[in-house]
Amino acid sequence: MPETLLAADVGASKTLVALVGPQPGGWAWLTLPQRFATPRDPAVAAALISQVARNLAGDQRTVAAAAVAIPGPLDRDRGIVTLLANLGWHDVPFAAMLAGQLGVPVVLDDDARLGALGEWSVGAGRGARSLGYVTVSSGIGCGLVLDGEPWAGGHGVAGEFGHLVLDTSGPRCGCGHRGCVEAYAGGLALARAARRAWPRARLGDGTPAPRSAAEVFRLARRGDAAAARIVGEATGALALGLAAIGAVFDPELIVVGGSVALGQRRWIRSVAAASRRRCIAQTGASMRVVTAALADHSALAGAAELAARRWYGRTGDGGGDGGGERGVQGRGVVAEDRGIGRVVDHPVPLELI
């Protein structure tokens, strides 16, 4: 059995890397996650992940395999990033690139799907049979765990509700279409909306114009009408997306994470309330929406779980991708601001929205 595995989460703005190892009944973190800005050049990104892995492993450990969370559509069987629009990656053989740097096998999977797997195995979804995980950060993604198993769909792109088109004449999305949920509610979309609303560098009172999602929300809280309109459109779009998840999949709970969502919890409460009003009565009354217990480490934990399933194995796993009752589990790993790396034996408290 390999002793050390690499887990990585490659995002549009940042990359997280950590090492995990086996423990009785599951896996545990061996290192604290390390982060760096994601390069636009995929070859440079692969080289940096490899360098960080070597630094973390030192002379005492040898990385035997790796699992990587990637945003956007993938060809998982061939390890190819089909489209990572926010970085300009098209048909990038990233698994082969990283395997060439590390000299070990590498598996890729969708970051939202692995976020769902992470929250299901060691986070907010412990004990649930089904959940939807929605990440609202630079873009918007969704992963699904149904009947205890991550669900990729027939073509590996299940859950891409961020690219559900709401208005064909709406703002352009990074995927090329107009009016997607992500084109209204993603962090980059909110920043683009701010530039459209305030093309000048400064507002009328001389203060800097908002250029990020956080600044748009801050201005909306101060009562600015244009900022309130942008936030209102984002609220409506994301609420429709959550309602669609509830209507189609009826999960036990929906877990919401990602940097934008976790930084704007009051807004997410408004989104959750609006989504319930957009469902049929039975779905709306039973819909549970909670914040991600693992904060911005959900996908990293999912990558660790995926790596453990593949290379530590489990009874009835059918090769490591499915089957079985729960899968190989970490033990209640909590987020950085609550001491990530510390192993606890109780579920992480949830915030019900």
Phi and psi torsions of 49, nearest 5°: -60, -45
pLDDT number for residue 136: 94
Tell whether the model's pLDDT for residue 338 goes beyond 90. no
Q: Which amino acid is at 347?
A: P
User: How distant, in Å, are the alpha carbons of 28, 37, 38, 65, 114 from that of 44?
Assistant: 28, 11, 9, 19, 23
- Mean pLDDT of the region 312-327: 39
* CA 291 – CA 124 distance, rounded (Å): 8
pLDDT number for residue 315: 22
pLDDT number for residue 345: 30
Q: Give the β-pairing of 74-75 and 63-70.
A: unpaired
- Report helix, strand or coil for 102: helix
Average confidence score pLDDT of the chain = 86
Burial of 147 (0-12, 13-18, 19+ CB in 10 A): exposed
Tell whether the model's pLDDT for residue 318 goes beyond 70. no
CA atoms within 13 A on the CB side of 298: 36
* CA 83 – CA 143 distance, rounded (Å): 17
Tell whether the model's pLDDT for residue 127 goes beyond 90. no
Confidence of residue 327 (pLDDT cuts 50, 70, 90): very low
Which tens digit of pLDDT belongs to each residue from 52-95? 999 999 988 999 999 999 987 889 899 999 988 778 999 999 99
Tell whether the model's pLDDT for residue 298 goes beyond 70. yes
User: How distant, in Å, are the alpha carbons of 37, 149, 150 from that of 153?
Assistant: 31, 12, 9
pLDDT number for residue 138: 85
Q: DSSP assignment, residue 203?
A: -
Phi and psi torsions of 20, nearest 5°: -130, 160
Which tens digit of pLDDT belongs to each residue from 266-291? 999 999 999 999 888 777 788 899 99
Q: What is the pTM of this model?
A: 0.83
Which tens digit of pLDDT belongs to each residue from 9-48? 998 889 999 999 998 878 999 999 999 999 999 999 999 9
